[in-house]
Amino acid sequence: MIGRLREAGVETDDEPGQEDFGWYFEFKVPAGPHCCILGYQEDEPEGVWHLWLERSRGLLGSILGRRGHGIDDAAVRALDDVLASAPEIRELKWESR
């Protein structure tokens, strides 16, 4: 995803970070930085990738629960464009909280 976002002109982290649930990376749109978090769920039939999008808020904003607020439409569109154009993606379903 990082490579495909970069090909589309989106500034991203050089490499993803790893967490216990999967991976994450930050990318920037004109409204500011956002974080894409990816996790793989093996117990689903054929396995399922889950992705969620948060607004990068720093330590205090994260503690105060602000990561889910102010997600910009341009960030959603950037991810949607990359995923929708990927031939290996067979099914894409967006949900919101």
| Number of independent structural domains in the chain | 1
E-only strand ranges, 43-86: 48-55
Residue 94 lies in a domain: no
Note whether residue 93 is domain-resident: no
Indicate whether 66 belongs to any domain: yes
Residue 30 is assigned to a structural domain of this protein: yes
**pLDDT tens digit string along 27-84?**
999 999 999 999 888 876 777 888 889 888 666 656 666 666 678 899 999 999 999 8
Owning domain of residue 45: 2-83
Q: Is residue 36 part of a domain?
A: yes
State the Cα torsion 5-90-50-77 to the nearest 10°.
Answer: 40
